[in-house]
Amino acid sequence: MPERKTSHDDDSMNKWLQWDPIYCRQAAMLLSSLLWSISGFGLGETEPLEDFRLSANCPPSFEKTQSGRCKLHTLYDQYDSIQNHGVGGLHSSLPPRRDGFTPQQIDLGRYLFFDPLLSVDGSLSCASCHHPEKGLSDNRARSIGVAGVEVARSAPTLWNSAFMSRYLWDASAASLEEQVQGPLYDPLEMGNNPANLLATLNSNTVYRQLFQQAFDRQADAITLDQIYLVIAAFETSLISLNSRYDRYAHGHHQALNQQEIEGLNIFRSFVARCAECHQPPLFTNQQIAVIGTPEPEGMPLDIGAEKTFNSAALKGGFKVPSLRNIATTPPYMHSGRFDNLRETVEFYTNGRGHAVPKGVDMQLHWHIWEPELTSHELDLLVVFLQTLTDEAFMPKTPERVPSGLTPISHQ
Ligand code: HEC
Ligand code: HEC
């Protein structure tokens, strides 16, 4: 049977004695692999392939073209520009999107996304930190990976990834294919390495055949580019553009109640200025903005995009996050510093730069100022943000994944 590498060298064997959770988990994995091989219940060897037939249908809201590719359709396609309707206008169009993958590639990406086989010790999948029941995030201030310690930042949702021009809080990844190598190989996240990932997938008979189906080739070995591509394909299928807000924007005025409409109007007002950065319909203009949010107590200042672009003017700058499904992904901001939406929106009215540490030179964005919103107006903003929830196209968690491991899997 294919074996999963768990780096059981002598040194780490000794560490088992210290009851470090990661080594206990590796011990448990080793044991269960042994049991599998004894019972002949190997990873891939005896999993019947019929259980893993790739879907030939495009996900909802995608149409299959003559050449068998999935093309997205949304009601926003009827609006032609961002500029002609005013920033923050209901009829703003969407930015360019990534689509054109085949249904098979999207579905294979789904299996990989939910398969803990991608992590070095089989303990967690992408979905552990981008969980379907937690808004495709993990409801933690900072995520925890294979090493059992917190990573530097909070996990963002993956909804509408198809429209983003850059990824990560500090905008350091230019494509989904580039981004995915971060979690896969970061020792604090999934802890894998390219050689081991290729070896594990290539020694799994089911994955070999599924990749052959998805790329229409016989007998070739799985490549890294194919792995990155199918995961990207799956991510671009995560579309959320049919919230109550959207129905309102497309002309169904009853979709929002009076309070929600008041909240929307505050959001779009030149007093609050939220829509200048969180521009509809994605609720982000995809730019970097320095707004000066506080770090959690005891955490050093995160310089954010200063590092990415080697520019002191961007110290403390982060990519403006989309606010789609925002009610489902507490806590908030890059560091998960705010527990709920009320605290988060209140940040904007507590005074320009109030949370910037003394002596730090931060060049705050000009739309960050002193809107002096009342407590009632803050409540209405929260009420409005809750109308941006739409999880109707949440992908199905596979009942089983080709590795035989438990889909998603937790620490
Ligand atoms: C240990 C938890 C963890 C795992 C596992 C994980 N992620 Fe993430 N993910 C994060 C965190 C934290 C961030 C934000 C990191 C940052 O910006 O510095 C992130 C960011 C992202 C982003 C950027 C989103 C955006 O809009 O900027 C994408 C896309 C993503 N992850 C996809 C994946 C995929 C695909 C996998 C599996 C191969 C994966 N993640 C596995 C925690 C995780
Ligand atoms: C100058 C641009 C700008 C303006 C104006 C702005 N924001 Fe933000 N917003 C950001 C940035 C950048 C972040 C991420 C900051 C961080 O993580 O430190 C953010 C984060 C958020 C978050 C948390 C998102 C998450 O996924 O954790 C919410 C909610 C939010 N903003 C709501 C608002 C509201 C409501 C307003 C108006 C009162 C507003 N924003 C005005 C740029 C802006």
First to last CA, the chain: 25
Whether 56 shows a pLDDT value over 50: the answer reads yes
Whether 6 shows a pLDDT value over 60: the answer reads no
d(CA 199, CA 229): 18
- Separation of 106 CA from ligand 1 center, angstroms? 18
The dihedral built from the CA positions of residue 14, 17, 20 and 21, taken in this order, carries a sign that is positive
Cβ contact 142:335 at 8 Å: yes
Q: Is the Cβ atom of 283 under 6 angstroms away from ligand 2?
A: no
The angle at the Cα of 293, spanning 331 to 138, to the nearest 5 degrees, equals 20
Q: What average pLDDT does this structure show over 31-37? A: 38
More confident residue, 232 or 37: 232
Q: Which atom of ligand 1 is nearest to the CA of 124?
A: 5
Residue bearing the CA closest to ligand 1, atom 40:
126
Residue bearing the CA closest to ligand 1, atom 19:
155
Q: Is the Cβ atom of 130 under 6 angstroms away from ligand 1?
A: yes
Q: What average pLDDT does this structure show over 20-28? A: 41
Cβ contact 198:112 at 8 Å: no
Q: Which atom of ligand 2 is nearest to the CA of 318?
A: 12
Residue 265 CA to its chain's centroid (Å): 29
What confidence category does residue 94 fall into, taking pLDDT thresholds of 50, 70 and 90? very high
d(CA 63, CA 74): 11
More confident residue, 82 or 373: 373
What confidence category does residue 82 fall into, taking pLDDT thresholds of 50, 70 and 90? low
**Residue to mutate (ligand 1; options 137, 168, 230; most atoms within 8 A of CB):** 168
Query: Structural domains in the chain?
Result: 10-42 (no CATH), 48-54+98-235 (1.10.760.10), 244-388 (1.10.760.10)
Residue bearing the CA closest to ligand 2, atom 37:
274
- The number of the ligand nearest the C-alpha atom of 322 reads 2
- Separation of 321 CA from ligand 2 center, angstroms? 7
Per-residue pLDDT reduced to its tens digit, 293-340? 999 999 999 999 999 999 999 999 999 999 999 999 999 999 999 999
Which amino acid makes up residue 185?
Y
DSSP string of 242-295? -SHHHHHHTT-GGGS-HHHHHHHHHHHSTTT-HHHHS-TTTT----EEE--PPP
Q: Which of 33-47, 113-127, 209-223 has the highest mean pLDDT?
A: 113-127
- Separation of 143 CA from ligand 1 center, angstroms? 9
Give me 108's structure tokens. 């294979």
- Separation of 44 CA from ligand 1 center, angstroms? 27
Q: Is the Cβ atom of 261 under 6 angstroms away from ligand 1?
A: no
Residue bearing the CA closest to ligand 2, atom 3:
277
Per-residue pLDDT reduced to its tens digit, 343-374? 999 999 999 999 999 999 999 999 999 999 99
Whether 282 shows a pLDDT value over 70: the answer reads yes
Q: What average pLDDT does this structure show over 129-154? A: 96
Residue 385 CA to its chain's centroid (Å): 19
Q: Is the Cβ atom of 324 under 6 angstroms away from ligand 2?
A: no
In Å, how far are 177, 209, 261, 266, 397 from 373, measured between CA atoms? 41, 58, 17, 9, 42
Q: Supply the mean pLDDT for the chain.
A: 88
Whether 29 shows a pLDDT value over 70: the answer reads no
**Residue to mutate (ligand 2; options 154, 166, 278; most atoms within 8 A of CB):** 278
- Separation of 155 CA from ligand 1 center, angstroms? 6
Q: Is the Cβ atom of 233 under 6 angstroms away from ligand 1?
A: no
- Separation of 320 CA from ligand 2 center, angstroms? 6
- The number of the ligand nearest the C-alpha atom of 183 reads 1
Residue bearing the CA closest to ligand 1, atom 37:
126
pLDDT at 409: 82
pLDDT at 217: 78
Q: Is the Cβ atom of 266 under 6 angstroms away from ligand 2?
A: no
Residues 6+ apart with CB under 8 A from 321: 156, 169, 284
